[in-house]
Amino acid sequence: MQLISIVVPVYNEQENVRYFYQEVRKYMDPLEYLYELIFVDDGSTDDTPRIIEQITQQDVRVSAVILARNFGHQIALTCGLDYAKGDAVITMDGDMQHPPEMLPILLRKWEEGFEVVQTIRSDTQGVSWFKRYTSSMFYRLINVMSNIHINEGGSDFRLMDHKVVETFLRFKERARFIRGLIGDLGYRQTFIEFVAPQRHAGKSKFSLKKMLTFAIDGITSFSKVPLRIALYAGLLLGMMSFLLTLNVVYTKLFTAEAVPGWATLAVSVLLLGGLQLLVVGIIGEYIGRIFEEVKQRPLYWVSDELRSGVKSVAKERIKHVG
């Protein structure tokens, strides 16, 4: 029988994990698969690790990796993939926004021969106008600026064949935008739309700051276009100043007027100063990323591995830690 791994990063989801576990059972137990449920606790400060530990004691199919601190959703997901042993691996959120009733549908697509089954949120219930708008802007921006295509509403709820997981794990970059990476891997991919319900309990763990970092990670890891802003702006301004010079010379030589424009001067000094700072900022953003990557620090580190309730201190056997 084939083994399916379900990887779930959780961060302060004490009201959700048990319900989530029961819902997964409800939809997975009737299917003809063996499965393992892997929780990755991303440095929760609430009761989440205790509740997960109880579940691992009750059910041998459930295991957990407790990260030493909060590393962020994308890193926690990667950690879970390092541990997953299944013939197919499904990643999903633990807050019920990725409905477990979709699991059989994803698996059916896999049986049909697809190696990546990507879900697309056609709508998210109860999401703020602001998040909806900024999210749609972000996808438009990244698709214009990079040569990959990411569907608006792309989520990290997907099924991957173990081949795809192995390929993905060879990507070692720190700032990772998983949905872009996977979309770009090739393989036989398919898409399923779903409507994301409101989260079961608790609040979204994505602060504005986390969302912004995620968006900038996405753009900078797939596009060099921002680095060219200086080039294009420089060309444009150079051309304008050439035309302006012609105008100044003409006015001086052939008319009786003095060249006007002290206001123009002040404005253009400000404009150029602003533009230069902006471009230096963009270059700094990329250099910062180079700096982060060259340090080659481990992606994450683990404090506990829980399996059938047996606590074991993590051994240095994980691909990404090595």
Among 206, 216, 251, 309, binds ligand UDP (CB under 6 A): 206
Does residue 73 touch ligand UDP according to CB under 6 A?
Answer: yes
Picking from 213, 209, 205, 212, the residue whose alpha carbon sits closest to that of residue 45 is: 205
- How far apart are CB 211 and ligand UDP at their closest, in Å? 8
Q: How many CB atoms lie within 10 A of CB 266?
A: 10
C-alpha 46/C-alpha 57 separation (Å) is 19
Q: Which is nearer to ligand UDP, 204 or 264 (CB)?
A: 204
- Phi/psi zone of residue 144: left (φ > 0), alpha (ψ -120 to 50 degrees), beta? alpha
Count of residues in contact with ligand UDP, rule CB under 6 A: 17
Q: Which residues contact 86 (CB under 8 A, 6 or more apart)?
A: 2, 3, 4, 5, 35, 36, 162
Q: b/e for 199-233, b at 16 or more Cβ within 10 A?
A: bbeeeebeeeeeeeebbbbbbbbbbeebeeebeeb
Does residue 183 touch ligand UDP according to CB under 6 A?
Answer: no
Instruction: Supply φ then ψ for residue 121, to 5 degrees.
Output: -75, 115
C-alpha 98/C-alpha 91 separation (Å) is 9
- How far apart are CB 58 and ligand UDP at their closest, in Å? 21
Does residue 153 touch ligand UDP according to CB under 6 A?
Answer: no
- Span of 70-78, 140-148, 179-187, 295-303 interacting with ligand UDP by CB under 6 A: 70-78
In the numeric block, the tokens 């606790």 are attached to 41
3-state helix, strand, coil in the chain (%, to 5): 50, 20, 35
Distance, C-alpha 247 to centroid of its chain = 51
Using CB under 5 A, list all residues that contact Mg ion.
Answer: 93, 95, 97, 199
Does residue 83 touch ligand UDP according to CB under 6 A?
Answer: no
Q: Which is nearer to ligand UDP, 7 or 106 (CB)?
A: 7
Does residue 302 touch ligand UDP according to CB under 6 A?
Answer: no
Does residue 70 touch ligand UDP according to CB under 6 A?
Answer: yes
218 binds, among Mg ion, ligand UDP, none (CB under 5 to 8 A by kind): none
Among 49, 80, 86, 94, binds ligand UDP (CB under 6 A): 94
Pairing verdict, β 3-10 and 88-91 = parallel
82 binds, among ligand UDP, Mg ion, none (CB under 5 to 8 A by kind): none
Does residue 179 touch ligand UDP according to CB under 6 A?
Answer: no
- How far apart are CB 306 and ligand UDP at their closest, in Å? 16
Q: Which is nearer to ligand UDP, 279 or 306 (CB)?
A: 306
Q: Site residues (CB under 6 A) for ligand UDP?
A: 9-11, 13, 42, 70, 72-73, 76, 93-95, 97, 199, 204-206
